[in-house]
A and B are shown apart, each in its own frame.
Chain A
Amino acid sequence: MLDTIIEGAVAFMLIAGGAFAFIGSLGLTHLKDFYMRLHGPSKTTTLGVGFTLIGSLIYFSREDGPVIQELLITIFAFITAPVSAHMLAKSALHHKLKPDPRTRGNPVELESDKPRHTIEEAPQGNSPLP
Chain B
Amino acid sequence: MIPPTRWLPMPVLSLLLLVVWLLLQESVALGQWLLGGVLAILIPVVCRPFWERQPTIKRPLKLLGYFFRVLGDIVTANIQVSKLILDPRGRMRPAFVEYPLTLKENFPITILASTITMTPGTVSAHLRLDGRTLLIHALDVADTKALIDEIHQRYERPLLEIFES
Whether A and B touch (Cβ < 8 Å) is answered with yes
Residues of A within 8 A of B (CB): 20, 23-24, 26-27, 30-31, 33, 35-36, 38-40, 42-44, 46-47, 67-69, 71-72, 78-79, 81-83, 85-86, 89-90, 92-93, 99-100, 102-107, 109, 118-119
Q: Evaluate contact between B95 and A104: CB separation under 8 angstroms.
A: yes
Find the A residue at minimum CB distance from B114: A82
23 A-B residue pairings within 8 Å (CB atoms): A26-B85, A27-B81, A38-B137, A39-B123, A42-B118, A44-B81, A71-B23, A79-B114, A81-B118, A82-B114, A82-B118, A85-B123, A100-B94, A102-B92, A102-B93, A104-B95, A104-B96, A104-B144, A105-B95, A105-B96, A106-B96, A107-B126, A107-B135
What chain B residues lie within 8 Å of A103 (beta carbons)? 94-96
What chain A residues lie within 8 Å of B30 (beta carbons)? none
Q: How far is the CA of A19 from the CA of B144 in the complex (A)?
A: 31
What's the dominant secondary structure at chain A's contact region? helix
Interface residues on B, range: 35 or more
> Residue B24 at the A interface, CB < 8 A?
yes
User: Which parts of B8-26 form the interface with A (CB within 8 Å)?
Assistant: 20, 23-24, 26
What chain A residues lie within 8 Å of B82 (beta carbons)? 20, 23, 44
Q: Evaluate contact between B94 and A89: CB separation under 8 angstroms.
A: no
Binds A, one of B32-40, B42-50, B56-64, B70-78: B70-78
The interface centre, meaning the residue of A23, A42, A69 with most chain B CB atoms within 10 A of its CB, is A23
What chain B residues lie within 8 Å of A81 (beta carbons)? 117-118
The interface centre, meaning the residue of B24, B118, B124 with most chain A CB atoms within 10 A of its CB, is B118
> Residue B129 at the A interface, CB < 8 A?
yes
What chain B residues lie within 8 Å of A105 (beta carbons)? 95-98, 144
Mark each residue of chain B from 135 to 159: 1 if its CB lies under 8 Å from any CB of chain A, else 0. 1010100001000000000000000
Q: Evaluate contact between A47 and B85: CB separation under 8 angstroms.
A: no
Residues of B within 8 A of A (CB): 20, 23-24, 26, 74-75, 77-78, 81-82, 85-86, 92-98, 113-115, 117-118, 121, 123-126, 129-130, 135, 137, 139, 144
Q: Evaluate contact between B24 and A69: CB separation under 8 angstroms.
A: yes
What chain B residues lie within 8 Å of A104 (beta carbons)? 93-96, 144
CB distance from B115 to the nearest CB of A (A): 8
Known: A47-B74, A82-B118, A105-B96. A35 touches B125 (CB 8 A): yes
Q: Evaluate contact between B113 and A86: CB separation under 8 angstroms.
A: yes
Q: Evaluate contact between A43 and B118: CB separation under 8 angstroms.
A: yes
What chain A residues lie within 8 Å of B118 (beta carbons)? 42-43, 46, 78, 81-82
